[in-house]
């Protein structure tokens, strides 16, 4: 009986320790999950803001000047920013299609779509990605 009474506090301590560990692990898992979601949402919001900024730039710039800006800095910036958020989309193939529709425009694609101007072509491509980001 004496041995049993000395083992009881030990068993209780082990059970209590396991329970505390289980609760702490669950709380840490939830915290990591929440932090990952917040980080994902921040990256997507940053990408959307970048796209909206370019949409405004496209709308305010002449077709000739926006084509120069696109080939000088835009295409590379679109590709770089897309790489940061690509993993956050469930359907990456769909995202890759709309991203390619913007980041891989050739001069022929940009200027060869009469009656659309280069500004219209770029704005349509940017808006397609904005719609895709908002749907994510």
Instruction: Indicate whether 63 belongs to any domain.
Output: yes
Instruction: Indicate whether 117 belongs to any domain.
Output: yes
Instruction: Indicate whether 11 belongs to any domain.
Output: no
The pLDDT of residue 59 is above 60: yes
* Tens digits of residue pLDDT in 79-109: 999 999 999 999 999 999 999 999 898 888 8
Domain with 71 in it? 39-135
CA dihedral 33, 38, 39, 41 (to 10 degrees): 120
**Which residue's structure tokens are 């390619």?**
100
Return the DSSP state at 91. -
Instruction: Indicate whether 6 belongs to any domain.
Output: no
Domain count, the chain: 1
Instruction: Indicate whether 45 belongs to any domain.
Output: yes
Instruction: Indicate whether 52 belongs to any domain.
Output: yes
Instruction: Indicate whether 93 belongs to any domain.
Output: yes
* Tens digits of residue pLDDT in 16-54: 788 777 778 888 888 888 888 999 999 999 999 999 999
Angle at 134 between CA 97 and CA 64, to 5 degrees: 60
Dihedral sign of CA atoms 121, 122, 127, 128 in order: positive
The pLDDT of residue 134 is above 60: yes
Would you state the structure tokens that stand for residue 35, as one six-digit string? Answer: 């932090």
């Amino acid at each position: 009986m004496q041995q049993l009474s000395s083992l009881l506090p030990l068993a209780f301590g082990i059970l209590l320790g396991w329970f505390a560990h289980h609760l702490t692990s669950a709380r840490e898992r939830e915290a990591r999950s929440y932090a990952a979601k917040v980080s994902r949402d921040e990256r997507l919001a940053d990408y959307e803001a970048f796209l909206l900024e370019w949409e405004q730039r496209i709308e305010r710039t002449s077709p000739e000047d926006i084509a120069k800006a696109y080939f000088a800095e835009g295409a590379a910036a679109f590709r770089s920013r897309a790489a940061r958020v690509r993993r956050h989309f469930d359907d990456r193939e769909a995202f890759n299609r709309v991203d390619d529709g913007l980041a891989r425009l050739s001069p022929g694609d940009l200027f060869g779509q009469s009656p659309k101007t280069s500004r219209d072509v770029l704005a349509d491509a940017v808006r397609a990605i904005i719609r895709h980001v908002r749907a994510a």
